[in-house]
Chains A and B, each alone.
Chain A
Amino acid sequence: MSVTSLKYKTKLGTLAAPGDVDPGAMIPIATTLLATTASTITFSNITREYEHLQIRLLGVSGATYSEIAFNSDFGANYSWHQLQTDATTITVGGGASANQIYAAQLGSSTSVPSITIIDILDYSNTSKNKTVKLLNAVDANGSGFIYFRSGAWMNTNAISTIRIAAQGSTGTFASGTHVALYGIKRAGA
């Protein structure tokens, strides 16, 4: 019987052994599906072998919003800006010297969940501050919102931990919230 191994190509690695399988450019790192409520969702020990990270969030909560912070830094080292609509008016906003990046407005129930895609660019590059772009929305059948947002963490450290908190960790994500973290590889890696 032949043996096939799954070997993720990384920035430094290549496929070598016969039978190695390249699973593509988008690698699933970790998933959290809440069976009970939680105030925070944390991904830790994130390795540096990818080019970018992506978080795909189906959010359910009694809280109204969530925030994202890196490497347990809750100092005033973040900023964010946004273009948003509530289906009636388009407005802009932002925050400077913030303790976290305003991440995702959350849906009220599994009947009205929010959907969010967060891209964290060049997360392991120690020569750059870290930038985030995200798209977040809830459709509540005739109302709702869309947020088109950017964020920055003024730190050149490689990101190894990501914490998503419901309303400053004073709120809760509800059962059914689903968060998946992916690593995105670059060409030639």
Chain B
Amino acid sequence: MPLPSTMTPIATVTLSANASAITFSSIPQGYTDLMLTTYGASQATGGGSVVLKFNGDTGNNYSYLYMFGTGSGTGTGAFANVGGCLVNRHNTVDGAGWTAISNYSNTSVTKALLSRGSGNNIAITLTGRWRSTAAITSIACSMESGPGFAPGFTATLYGIKAA
């Protein structure tokens, strides 16, 4: 029986029209980590980072911390007890990023994220946590501000399997 690749694309969404959300559901549990890549632009207004929510949890059970640099300065901060984790970076011009979700199916640990993003004139690193030990079975993505994602925006979810 053929074995799967270590880093396996689970699903890719490329938008053909404006959208306020992208959702990956029924995520298989056979991997160790997940990796989410996004690239593309936000709609004509808004943008920012991508907000992740897991398993339909819309409560204030998330937190995140960031560090960024622009052409003129740096910034850092942290948010506690918020309604989602911010990752990656996009704006009305473009943007890209990846997010690693460690041990997503391990029910002994809360879920930790690590992300790098780049948009127009910004490079950003973020970390976040979902304070739940539940295995992640769905990921909902929305834009930090504004109506959402522009046509052509692409999000791919990969599974990474350890030895």
Within 8 A of B (CB), among A94-140: 107, 110-117, 135, 137-140
A170 at interface, CB cutoff 8 A: no
Q: How far is the CA of A114 from the CA of B111 in the complex (A)?
A: 10
Q: Contacts A137-B127, A139-B63, A141-B81 known; A180 to B112 CB distance under 8 Å?
A: no
Main secondary structure of the interface of A (DSSP, over half): strand
Interface string of B100-115 (1 = CB under 8 A from A): 1011001011101110
CB distance from B161 to the nearest CB of A (A): 6
Cβ of A187 under 8 Å from chain B: no
**What is the 8 Å Cβ interface bit string for chain B, positions 70-85, against chain A (1 contact, 0 not)?**
0000101111110000
Contact, CB under 8 Å: A180 / B163: yes
What residue in chain A is nearest B79 (Cβ atoms)?
Answer: A142
Name the residue on B nearest A6 (C-beta).
B3
- Residues in A whose Cβ lies below 8 Å from that of B5: 22-26
B109 and A110 contact, CB distance less than 8 A? yes
Given the complex of chains A and B, what is the CA–CA distance between A84 and B114 in angstroms? Answer: 14
Give chain A interface residues in 55-71, CB to chain B under 8 Å.
Answer: 56, 58, 60
Contact among A88, A112, A146, A148 for B129, CB-based, below 8 A: A112
Flag whether A154 is at the interface (Cβ < 8 A): no
Q: Tell me the bound Cα distance from A108 to B4 in angstroms.
A: 34
A21 within 8 A of B: yes
CA distance A181 to B131 in the complex (A): 26
> Is A189 part of the contact surface with B, judged by Cβ < 8 Å?
no
Instruction: Decide yes or no whether A36 CB sits under 8 A from chain B.
Output: no
With beta carbons under 8 angstroms apart, the residue of B4, B66, B129, B160 that contacts A23 is: B4
Interface size on A, residues (CB 8 A): 50
Instruction: Say yes or no: is A45 at the interface (Cβ < 8 Å to chain B).
Output: no
A176 touches B108 (CB 8 A): yes
Q: How far is the CB of B44 from the nearest CB of chain A, in Å?
A: 31
Interchain nearest-CB distance for A108 vs B (Å) = 12
Contact B3 A58 (CB under 8 A): no
Contact of A141 among B2, B76, B80, B161 (CB under 8 A): B80
Let me know if B78 and A143 touch, CB within 8 A. Answer: yes
Asked whether B76 lies within 8 Å of A90 as measured between CB atoms, the reply is yes
A114 and B100 alpha carbons, distance in the complex (Å): 12
B1 & A4 in contact (Cβ 8 Å cutoff): yes
Determine if B3 and A142 form an interchain contact, defined as CB atoms under 8 angstroms apart.
Answer: no
Q: Is A52 an interface residue (CB 8 A)?
A: no
Docked CA distance A176–B110 (Å): 11
Query: How far is it, in angstroms, between the C-alpha of A180 and the C-alpha of B103 when the chains are bound?
Result: 11
Additional pairs, 13, CB under 8 Å, beyond known A31-B163, A138-B127: A23-B3, A25-B7, A26-B6, A56-B160, A58-B112, A87-B77, A111-B110, A113-B102, A113-B112, A139-B64, A140-B63, A146-B125, A148-B125
CB pairs A–B below 8 angstroms (14 shown) = A21-B3, A23-B6, A25-B7, A26-B6, A28-B162, A31-B163, A84-B67, A85-B76, A88-B77, A111-B110, A113-B109, A115-B112, A116-B114, A142-B80
